[in-house]
């Protein structure tokens, strides 16, 4: 039995097509896509086809490409450096490939690696920086998959970094004529503040920092902190930026609330430190967290301070940044999906509703003192939704005071425990029964309480995990 020929080992090349003639054969959408890419690369495009689609015809009209009428003839290749066969007719495509072979013109036949003498890779574009991926035609889907992965991991600011390094090439060379010293400089530079400043769109500061690093000696390298929101637990709710920052971290300081699934996405060799806070000894640990952040950044490390949900929503993120600023340490903030938004979405509760709720309040009620300072008359107002964080302990008091201040005892609520995680539970009912239902179902932290008319929608709009507990069984409702 003959097995199919092994895929060729290709030699990658990046071609400079500026001002060079390229033949595209075909008049449809594929030809248009290739033509557009070739024009972007500065090529002179000649397009051969009996008929053109509207966009291609437009390009001809604007004089941006030349049109060769009729069916393919080998003389179309005269003077071309490269040809792309993009018709849906195998015979025509093959004719282009054969003519190209005879005339020593590289030919790519779209979606036919075997007929092609040159293949066009999947690529990730970051300005002058391009990553090209090819499987030699063996597994185009695998190449595409890898492209998508890289697309998510390579920040768009890499293009600007490449431009900056291009502009500064001569200065870098003259400062570090020796290859070894130059390489060490790049290692420091790429792990330091310059890429982070570009991510933050602070171009002037990035240039200044670049200049400083060019002339600094190696021992002064300083670390930085990214304060990152890890979302509620489902790793799919991380932002792309969070993922990129996690990939580059040397040290991760994370809360107990951060899920294992998210922690698995951290760079393998990064040092992970759990700085979980137990209720009760907040203050002692907060100081230790500050000390840890300082210790690692002063050692030149890239620290990620990873918090559940969003770092600026009941996350004490502000306090941590104040400490960093006071010590002159660079930081960036990556927002996360906060529990209120995630739990509402995963329980099928729209937080606002044209008929029921025109505003949402994020409230915390984790202990007696914090409940004492709440503005109860405002919280008890109708036509709004309350999203209550850390509410598990004081639920009876919380519901009693809302009712005391005028919120109807029948107002619906939903408790979302372990929102967005595999073990999510939702409990629904009326405000007067809140504490009892929570006891019956033994609600555990982390749980978020939603109060307002919209909470009842969980009973019909639930889509994740099981249906809400404590909801009236439909059979009983019908019988009544």
- Supply the residues annotated as catalytic: 255, 277
Asked whether position 155 contacts ligand SAH by CB under 6 A, the answer is no
- Give the Cα separation of 238 and 248 in Å (integer): 15
Cβ-contact 402, 379 below 8 angstroms:
yes
Shortest distance, position 368 Cβ to ligand SAH, whole Å? 16
Under the binding rule (CB under 6 A), the answer on residue 254 touching ligand SAH is: no
- Residue 96 or 449 with smaller CB distance to ligand SAH: 449
Q: By CB under 6 A, which span of 58-66, 246-254, 273-281, 306-314 interacts with ligand SAH?
A: 306-314
Omega before 446 within 30 of 0, i.e. cis: yes
Q: Which of 294, 380, 448, 450 is the binder for ligand SAH (CB under 6 A)?
A: 448
Return the DSSP state at 79.
T
Q: Does 419 engage in binding with ligand SAH (CB under 6 A)?
A: yes
Using the rule CB under 6 A, is 348 a contact of ligand SAH?
A: no
Note whether 446 binds ligand SAH by CB under 6 A. yes
Q: Which of residues 388-407 bind ligand SAH (CB under 6 A)?
A: 389-390
Number of residues counted as binding ligand SAH (CB under 6 A): 24
Window of 22-30, 178-186, 260-268, 441-449 that interacts with ligand SAH by CB under 6 A? 441-449
Strands, E assignment, 174-257? 224-229, 251-254
Give CA–CA dist 7/113, Å, rounded: 9
| Comparison of 271 and 445: residue with beta carbon closer to ligand SAH | 445
Tell me if 232 contacts ligand SAH by CB under 6 A: yes
Spacing of C-alpha 404 from chain mean position? 45
Does 437 help bind ligand SAH (rule: CB under 6 A)? no
Kindly report the number of other CB atoms within 10 A of residue 356's CB atom. 18
Query: Do β-strands 21-25 and 82-85 pair in parallel, antiparallel, or remain unpaired?
Result: parallel
- Is the sign of the CA dihedral 337, 339, 340, 341 positive or negative? positive
* Sign of the Cα pseudo-torsion (74, 78, 83, 87, in order): negative
Question: Which segment (115-123, 210-218, 310-318, 431-439) binds ligand SAH by CB under 6 A?
Answer: 310-318
Torsion of CA 392, 401, 420, 473, to 10 degrees: 100
Cβ closer to ligand SAH: 202 or 364? Answer: 364
Dihedral, CA atoms, 377, 378, 379, 381, nearest 10 degrees?
90
Quick check: 115 binds ligand SAH (CB under 6 A)?
no
Question: Is 233 one of the binding residues for ligand SAH (CB under 6 A)?
Answer: yes
Q: How far is CA 16 from CA 35, 41, 124, 132, 358, in A?
A: 15, 8, 17, 15, 57
Residue choice 209, 310, 330, 453 for contact with ligand SAH (CB under 6 A): 310
Instruction: Using CB positions, name the residue nearest to ligand SAH.
Output: 309
Rule CB under 6 A: choose which of 48, 100, 309, 429 binds ligand SAH. Answer: 309
As given in the structure block, the two tokens for residue 405 are 């201040």
Establish if 468 lies at the interface with ligand SAH (CB under 6 A): no
The residues that touch ligand SAH, with contacts defined as CB under 6 A, are 232-233, 257, 307-310, 313-315, 338-339, 343, 389-390, 416, 418-421, 445-448
């Amino acid at each position: 039995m003959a097995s199919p020929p092994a895929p060729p080992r290709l030699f990658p090349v990046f071609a400079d097509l500026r001002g060079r003639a390229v033949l595209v054969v075909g008049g449809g959408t594929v030809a248009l896509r290739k033509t557009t890419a070739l024009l972007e690369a500065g090529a002179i495009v000649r397009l051969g086809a009996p008929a053109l689609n509207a966009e291609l015809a437009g390009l001809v009209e604007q004089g941006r490409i030349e049109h060769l009428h009729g069916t393919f003839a080998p003389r179309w290749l005269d003077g071309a450096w490269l040809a792309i066969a993009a018709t849906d007719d195998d015979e025509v495509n093959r004719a282009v490939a054969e003519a190209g072979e005879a005339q020593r013109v590289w030919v790519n036949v779209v979606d036919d690696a075997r007929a092609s003498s040159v293949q066009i890779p999947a690529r990730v574009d970051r300005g002058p920086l391009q990553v090209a991926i090819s499987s030699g035609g063996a597994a185009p889907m695998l190449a595409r998959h890898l492209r998508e992965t890289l697309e998510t991991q390579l920040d768009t600011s890499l293009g600007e970094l490449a431009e900056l390094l291009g502009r500064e090439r001569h200065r870098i060379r003259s400062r570090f004529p020796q290859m070894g010293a130059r390489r060490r400089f790049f290692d420091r530079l790429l792990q330091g503040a310059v890429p982070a400043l570009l991510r933050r769109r602070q171009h002037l500061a990035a240039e200044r920092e670049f200049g400083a690093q060019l002339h600094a000696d190696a021992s002064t390298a300083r670390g930085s902190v990214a304060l990152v929101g890890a979302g509620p637990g489902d790793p799919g709710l991380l932002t792309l930026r969070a993922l990129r920052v996690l990939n580059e971290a040397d040290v991760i300081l994370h809360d107990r609330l951060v899920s294992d699934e998210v922690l698995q996405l951290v760079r393998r060799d990064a040092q992970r430190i759990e700085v979980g806070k137990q209720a009760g000894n907040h203050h002692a640990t907060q100081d230790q967290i500050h000390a840890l952040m300082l210790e690692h950044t002063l050692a030149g490390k890239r620290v990620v301070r990873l918090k559940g949900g969003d770092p600026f929503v009941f996350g004490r993120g502000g306090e941590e940044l104040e400490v960093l600023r006071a010590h002159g340490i660079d930081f960036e903030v990556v927002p996360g999906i906060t529990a209120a938004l995630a739990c509402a979405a995963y329980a099928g509760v729209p937080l606002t509703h044209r008929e029921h709720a025109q505003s949402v309040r994020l409230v915390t009620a984790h202990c007696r003192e914090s409940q004492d300072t709440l503005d109860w008359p405002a919280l008890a107002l109708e036509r709004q939704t309350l999203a209550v964080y850390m509410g598990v302990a004081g639920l009876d008091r919380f519901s009693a005071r809302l009712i005391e201040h005028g919120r109807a005892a029948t107002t619906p609520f939903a408790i979302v425990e372990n929102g967005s995680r595999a073990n999510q539970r939702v409990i629904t009912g009326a405000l007067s029964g809140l504490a009892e239902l929570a006891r019956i179902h033994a609600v555990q932290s982390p749980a978020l309480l939603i109060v307002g008319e919209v909470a009842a929608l969980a009973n019909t709009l639930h889509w994740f995990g099981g249906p809400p507990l404590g909801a009236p069984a439909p059979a009983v409702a019908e019988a009544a």
